[in-house]
Amino acid sequence: MSAPKKVVLAYSGGLDTSIILKWLQTEYGCEVVTFPADLGQGEELEPARAKAELLGVRPANIFIEDLREEFVRDFVFPMFRANALYEGQYLLGTSIARPLIAKRLVGIAAATGADAVAHGATGKGNDQVRFELAAYALDPTIRVIAPWREWSLTSRTRLLEFAEEHQIPIAKDKRGEAPFSVDANLLHTSSEGKVLENPAEEAPPYVYQRTAHPEDAPDAPEYVEVGFEAGDPVSLDGAALSPAALLTRLNELGGRHGVGRLDLVEGRFVGMKSRGVYETPGGTILLAAHRGIESITLDRGAAHLKDELMPKYAELIYNGFWFSPERDMLQALIDRSQTRVNGLVRVKPYKGCASVVGRWSKDTLYSESHVTFEDDAGAYDQKDAEGFIKLNALRLRLLGKRRS
């Protein structure tokens, strides 16, 4: 295969992607376009511009974009309408970020005339699959370069030697082995590898960066009222907020109270199991609140069908199929279910928990007159239950007679 002429690289400005940048230049002799995306990871991205220029990237080929609002509005919120949890626990914080990054890589490639995109995901993980499936779905002709599957820099020593050979600045703390790997965005922080590789050992306290330890969280709870329209959160305590601003506020609240910690051994799409430590404070509050408003606005049949479909939907996102027809089909069903999911939910974050303690909606299906233990004024005739039970018991009684 001929060498690419121009490559758009998902670039953080860190050591690994800086090595990839230089490797692309030396291996292929190609022009490199760098793309650091601000997804709310909490890092200043302007140093990435200076680093890219230092490594020979023309200023016109450096794209830095703030994608926080698009990330939350068009990716996080649609996912939360489904109450998506991978393997019953993981809120998919890393998984849901990859299709947006891939979308912009492909878009920048089209805008700059690049014939390839590149990423820094390793050949052992899920991210390589997510980036590449999304890229191919959006541009079937795009070429994807994955250096970790191609180069001979297979050890930390070789990476550092390459960096020194090509005068890539190396921070002093990067010369040794990092204690664990971190991926962060506005939805979560993910930590894995090194000190976390033995699932029998409790994660060291320093792994947690976004949340207080629940034991050290405030002794008094706080309350927050989340307003929903058509299944999406739109306000906190009566104040309308943009998607990114709302999630930022919930992150601060949840982090303060130690909400959203998860230590999980999960099944990777590529076949192996891995151990990750996740912090999703705002997302955990949001999931509780969304389930709270659905509990009074969704019909039982619709709610139970959503719960049956959710594992498939979550698996599609985890495995990298955001831009697939089956995800689109499920999204249409999910979004149709949300048209009357409107109202307010009061959540109490406290000592690592996010408890729903109140919910109101003009579209509520909850009827106090039907469920009251007091006089229901004829709203429900309890005698009707006898025939209901007999009809449902008929097949069980026939089975019982056959057994006897």
Give the DSSP letter of residue 86: B
Question: Is residue 98 annotated as a catalytic residue, yes or no?
Answer: yes
- Angle of the 325-337 helix axis to the 300-319 helix axis, nearest 10: 150
Inter-residue contact 361 to 297 (CB < 8 Å): yes
Q: How many CA atoms lie within 13 A of 252 on its CB side?
A: 8
Identify the CA nearest to 183 among candidates 16, 330, 54, 389.
16
Identify the CA nearest to 221 among candidates 90, 355, 99.
355
Give the DSSP letter of residue 62: B
Report the C-alpha gap between 155 and 368 in whole angstroms: 65
Please tell me which residue in 38, 115, 181, 256 is annotated as part of the active site: 181
**Distances in Å between the alpha carbon of 181 and those of 119, 137, 147?**
16, 29, 18
Question: Is residue 158 annotated as a catalytic residue, yes or no?
Answer: no
Identify the CA nearest to 3 among candidates 25, 30, 34.
30
Please tell me which residue in 12, 18, 95, 127 is annotated as part of the active site: 127
Write out the two tokens for 380. 């429900």
Inter-residue contact 144 to 286 (CB < 8 Å): no
Position of tokens 């998919």?
92
Question: Is residue 359 annotated as a catalytic residue, yes or no?
Answer: no
Question: Is residue 16 annotated as a catalytic residue, yes or no?
Answer: yes
Which residues are registered as beta bridge partners of 348? 355
Q: Which residues contact 210 (CB under 8 A, 6 or more apart)?
A: 184, 188, 189, 251, 255, 260, 279, 281
**Distances in Å between the alpha carbon of 302 and those of 294, 313, 329, 360?**
10, 16, 16, 19
Identify the CA nearest to 7 among candidates 32, 29, 28.
32
In the three-class reduction of DSSP (H, G, I as helix; E, B as strand; rest coil), residue 335 is classed as: helix
Inter-residue contact 40 to 183 (CB < 8 Å): no
**Distances in Å between the alpha carbon of 117 and those of 53, 134, 217, 356?**
19, 12, 44, 44
Positions annotated as catalytic residues are 16, 98, 127, 181
